[in-house]
Amino acid sequence: RASASATLTRAARVREGPMMKMRWRIPTSIAALIALACARATTASTVYDPCSTTGSSTVALDGSLTIGIAYWPGGTLEDWTDNHPCANATALAAAGVGTTVYVVDADGMTAIRGTRADEDGLYATDATATMMSVVAYTATTVSAARAVRVESGSAGDDGRTGRVSVLTLLATLDKGNVKYLRWHNSGCGECGGIGNERCLSVGDGDYACTASEAGCDGTCVGDACDVELGTTDALRCQLTVTVALSGTDVNDEVFTYGTQLERLSAYSSSGAYSSAAATATSATNGVLGFLGRR
């Protein structure tokens, strides 16, 4: 597989808070926070470092939560065992892990994604990689790992391959402090059920629909093409994560959208919810986001 053609450049200075030192960063512009249902601008006090406890503690209902998504090209689910992107930053940097930072609205459901160029570019930095996995994290919490890209030759489910389009993340807080980051199983109703070749086992018994590699790179022919390149359908070729909070905020008020997210995700069996999230152009890009080797 060819290496990335784009030249990675060092990032511009970080506006707020200490960021983890990266060997390479792909700078992206700061985007307004655009949730699925509403838009909300960041403020001067917003913390952009997921490894700072300030961004994941004392979260209020009308505030925001800083979350990191770490990508490991060539990394298996087992490779993430006992590895936290903050506590084990040096070791993960040497392994080629890249991260993107997001600030999500605390009282809402937000679809977040990086850029396809960043995701593809990071994957291409490891010429031997046949899969890529991710975790979500804050300073004190990390999710289980999930497979998001599997090529031929990987230990995929029944030899299946593809790029995962959508994962659903539920952040559970207790009095404004993040306690758990858990993936919610969206299933494969959108792509024909667990028995369909486009349904991939992503970890811990969870399944997700994928777009094919041939469909994403344009090498497919005729009816084998499952992606309409040049349209919003092409967004299925990169990972979108839908995030909501549950539990209580710093004032003991209840986050309601986490429960709604679980309810809506249940409808992904009919294709409605995951399909909408995967191709939503309103998804929030990383703020001071970066992808690439640390």
Q: How far is the C-alpha of 171 from the C-alpha of 247, rounded, in Å?
A: 8
Q: How far is the C-alpha of 85 from the C-alpha of 137, rounded, in Å?
A: 7
pLDDT tens profile 97-115: 999 999 898 988 888 988 8
Q: Which amino acid, 291?
A: L
Q: How far is the C-alpha of 232 from the C-alpha of 239, rounded, in Å?
A: 13
Helix (H) or strand (E) holding 68: strand 64-73
Residues 6+ apart with CB under 8 A from 14: 48, 288
| pLDDT digits (tens), the chain, 294 positions | 433 322 222 222 222 222 232 222 222 222 222 233 222 333 344 567 899 877 677 899 999 999 999 999 999 999 999 999 999 999 999 999 999 999 898 988 888 988 888 999 999 999 999 999 999 999 999 999 999 999 976 655 578 999 999 999 999 999 999 999 999 988 898 889 999 999 999 999 999 999 999 999 999 989 889 999 999 899 999 999 989 899 999 999 999 888 676 566 555 433 444 555 666 665 555 544 444 333
- Write out the two tokens for 28: 């992206």
